[in-house]
């Protein structure tokens, strides 16, 4: 008997209980790994200018420190479900954390930009499995009746990562050096490996399952190429004035064709790398549609907040991160409550309420200007956070909780792939929309936002205006309002996209019976 079949059964009958000490200990292991993986997706963004200065590299070259990491994640995530069944979640988790730590140490020792890019790929190969593995480990430990609560625990680093990354990265670079954005992973990783070896149960694996070589050769490069093409859209838009460049079209189209070929293969293969038949589960399909729409709007619009604080308000990266803290606080207020009540009442009511709160919070940003009150802005971010805590993880738990126990590993992998694709699409879409809004505002506004950091502003003052403060402030008075309006118009699109999520969310289960009945029947069968 495998771990997949026994874990949910051990938790049966505990639907009304909270998370016990054992589950909380397992959650601690998972959260440590998730924190490292998610923070490193955002923290390196703060260091882009530092890398350019350090090695006299172009922005396009330095951007590969982020792109390489993301592509490595995309390539390795599809393998996670098979590898977890084949080698066991404990062994695979420890191996992934170890590779991530080794990659972090190599990144800190990099002597050039090419070395750093290569080491970031190694880091991404380890980090890519941490989130889907964490979902598998937690759902198996808690059982289907408590998935909402354990997903709420896992959601904390997912929601706080985009906020804490810039804060931590800015502080480490300003106070120490760029090396510490990687070195900080070493003690956390060592603790995570020791903790996992002591807390996680011994693996019971299924060695009879064969590896889908054809599926791997189609899906992993397909995802990497597609995400590379999509993530290249903003740069192509800025450099060439269009997103229809060979770099975007060729890679994205080839990647999409490989993914389509995988879909046809997976629907016919007996043991495909991803089990697309899971979409026959109505709740899984509805939850994934809702989550895809939400992730595009959420992850896409997240990049706008810090740009507004830095570009329009002239704040430092560290201060921009601190100003985003109310969003994280709001999520921390509602996430545990929503997780617990989702297990009892189903996710439908909470997700729809959360989406409405997010729309209300985003509407405030459609009217931002150069001197909008920080009280209003922080209040709007707090309301958004309340909504996010009621939306993201209940939606993901709705996708997982009705699956049969032996399908949890494949379902977790599938949700993480959807998240990666949706986040990349959202980032590209909103980057293009914002760039076009800046163009409509005038070339001066676009040029200003390209030099929007405090350090860059000082350079513009010294080089373009030769230290003439009055002329520089006249320049700011002319183009700051246009830049602010560009943000406001872009947030109109974000608000509409979040509102659209209400349509699929309407079909999510609104009762516990509708949500968990299938899972309980699956446990009885096994």
Instruction: Please state, in angstroms and rounded to a whole number, the distance separating the CA atoms of residues 345 and 353.
Output: 14
Looking at the structure, do residues 171 and 220 belong to the same domain, yes or no?
Answer: no
Place of tokens 């490292």: 36
Q: What percent of the chain has pLDDT over 90?
A: 16
Looking at the structure, do residues 435 and 489 belong to the same domain, yes or no?
Answer: yes
Looking at the structure, do residues 430 and 464 belong to the same domain, yes or no?
Answer: yes
Looking at the structure, do residues 202 and 226 belong to the same domain, yes or no?
Answer: no
Looking at the structure, do residues 388 and 499 belong to the same domain, yes or no?
Answer: yes
Three-class secondary structure of residue 200 per DSSP: coil
Q: What is the pLDDT of residue 119?
A: 93
- Nearest Cα to 291, choosing from 456, 476, 115, 417? 417
Per-residue pLDDT band for 11 (boundaries 50, 70, 90) equals very low
- Single residue among 270, 289, 317 that ends a domain in this structure: 270
- Single residue among 251, 270, 289 that ends a domain in this structure: 270
Q: What is the pLDDT of residue 520?
A: 43
Q: What's the CATH number where 189 sits?
A: 1.20.1250.20
Spatial neighbors of 515 by CB under 8 A, at least 6 apart, are 283, 346, 347, 398, 401, 402, 509
The model's pLDDT over 41-100, given as tens digits with 9 standing for 90+, comes to 778 877 877 887 788 877 667 878 887 887 888 788 888 888 887 888 888 999 999 999
Looking at the structure, do residues 140 and 240 belong to the same domain, yes or no?
Answer: no
The model's pLDDT over 163-200, given as tens digits with 9 standing for 90+, comes to 777 778 878 887 888 899 899 899 989 998 998 888 88
pLDDT greater than 60 at residue 2: no
Looking at the structure, do residues 309 and 450 belong to the same domain, yes or no?
Answer: yes
Per-residue pLDDT band for 523 (boundaries 50, 70, 90) equals very low
pLDDT greater than 50 at residue 525: no
Q: Whole-angstrom distance between the N-terminal and C-terminal Cα of the chain?
A: 10
Q: What is the pLDDT of residue 236?
A: 78
Looking at the structure, do residues 204 and 218 belong to the same domain, yes or no?
Answer: no
- Nearest Cα to 169, choosing from 41, 44, 308? 44
DSSP of 453-486: SHHHHHHHHHHTSTT-HHHHHHHHHHHHHHHHHH
Average pLDDT over residues 459-477: 61
Neighbours of 245 (CB within 10 A): 17
Looking at the structure, do residues 166 and 311 belong to the same domain, yes or no?
Answer: no
Number of domains in the chain: 3
Looking at the structure, do residues 284 and 204 belong to the same domain, yes or no?
Answer: no
Looking at the structure, do residues 196 and 261 belong to the same domain, yes or no?
Answer: no
The model's pLDDT over 300-325, given as tens digits with 9 standing for 90+, comes to 887 788 778 877 887 877 787 788 88
- Single residue among 224, 248, 270 that ends a domain in this structure: 270
The model's pLDDT over 212-263, given as tens digits with 9 standing for 90+, comes to 888 888 988 888 888 888 878 877 777 777 778 888 889 999 999 999 999 9
Looking at the structure, do residues 340 and 242 belong to the same domain, yes or no?
Answer: no
Three-class secondary structure of residue 371 per DSSP: coil
Q: What is the pLDDT of residue 134?
A: 82
Q: 501: domain range?
A: 275-526
């Amino acid at each position: 008997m495998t771990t997949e079949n026994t874990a949910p059964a051990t938790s049966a009958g505990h639907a009304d209980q909270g998370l016990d000490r054992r589950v909380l200990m397992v959650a601690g292991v998972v959260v440590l790994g998730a924190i490292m993986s998610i923070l490193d997706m955002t923290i390196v963004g703060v260091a882009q200018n530092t890398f350019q200065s350090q090695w006299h590299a172009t922005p396009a070259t330095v951007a590969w420190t982020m792109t390489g990491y993301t592509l490595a994640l995309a390539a390795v995530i599809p393998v996670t479900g098979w590898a977890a069944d084949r080698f066991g979640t404990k062994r695979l988790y420890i191996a992934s954390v170890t590779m991530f730590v080794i990659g972090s140490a190599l990144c800190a020792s990099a002597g050039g930009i090419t070395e750093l890019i290569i080491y970031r790929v190694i880091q991404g190969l380890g980090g890519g499995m941490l989130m889907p593995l964490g979902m598998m480990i937690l759902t198996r430990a808690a059982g289907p009746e408590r998935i909402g609560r354990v997903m709420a625990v896992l959601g904390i680093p997912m929601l706080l990562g985009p906020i804490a990354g810039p804060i931590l990265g800015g502080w480490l670079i300003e106070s120490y050096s760029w090396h510490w954005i990687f070195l900080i992973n070493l003690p956390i990783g060592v603790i995570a490996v020791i903790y996992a070896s002591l807390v996680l149960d011994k693996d019971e694996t299924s060695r009879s399952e064969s590896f889908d070589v054809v599926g791997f050769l189609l899906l992993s490069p397909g995802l990497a190429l597609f995400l590379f093409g999509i993530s290249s859209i903003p740069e192509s838009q800025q450099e060439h004035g269009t997103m229809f460049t060979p770099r975007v079209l060729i890679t994205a189209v080839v990647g999409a064709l490989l993914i389509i070929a995988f879909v046809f293969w997976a629907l016919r293969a007996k043991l495909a790398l991803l089990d697309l038949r899971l979409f026959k589960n109505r709740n899984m399909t509805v939850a994934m549609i809702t989550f895809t729409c939400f992730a595009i709007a959420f992850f896409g619009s997240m990049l706008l907040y810090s740009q507004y604080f830095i570009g329009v308000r002239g704040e430092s990266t560290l201060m921009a991160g601190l100003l985003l803290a109310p969003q994280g606080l709001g999520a921390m207020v509602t996430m545990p409550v929503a997780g617990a009540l989702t297990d009892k009442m189903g996710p439908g009511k909470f997700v729809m309420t959360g989406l409405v709160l997010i729309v209300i919070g985003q509407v405030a940003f459609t009217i931002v200007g150069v001197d909008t009150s920080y009280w209003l802005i922080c209040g709007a971010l707090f309301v958004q956070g309340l909504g996010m805590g009621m939306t993201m993880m209940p939606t993901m738990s709705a996708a997982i909780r009705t699956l049969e126990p032996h399908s949890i590993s494949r379902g977790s992998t599938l949700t993480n792939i959807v998240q990666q694709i949706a986040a990349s699409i959202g980032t590209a879409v909103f980057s293009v929309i914002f760039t076009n809004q800046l163009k409509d505002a005038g070339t001066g506004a676009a040029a200003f936002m390209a030099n929007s950091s405090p350090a860059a502003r000082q350079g513009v003052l010294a080089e373009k205006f030769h230290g003439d403060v009055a002329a520089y402030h006249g320049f700011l008075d002319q183009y700051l309002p246009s830049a602010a309006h560009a943000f406001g118009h872009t947030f109109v699109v974000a608000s509409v996209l979040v509102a659209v999520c209400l349509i699929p969310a309407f079909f999510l289960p609104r009762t516990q019976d509708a949500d968990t009945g299938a899972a309980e029947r699956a446990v009885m069968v096994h």
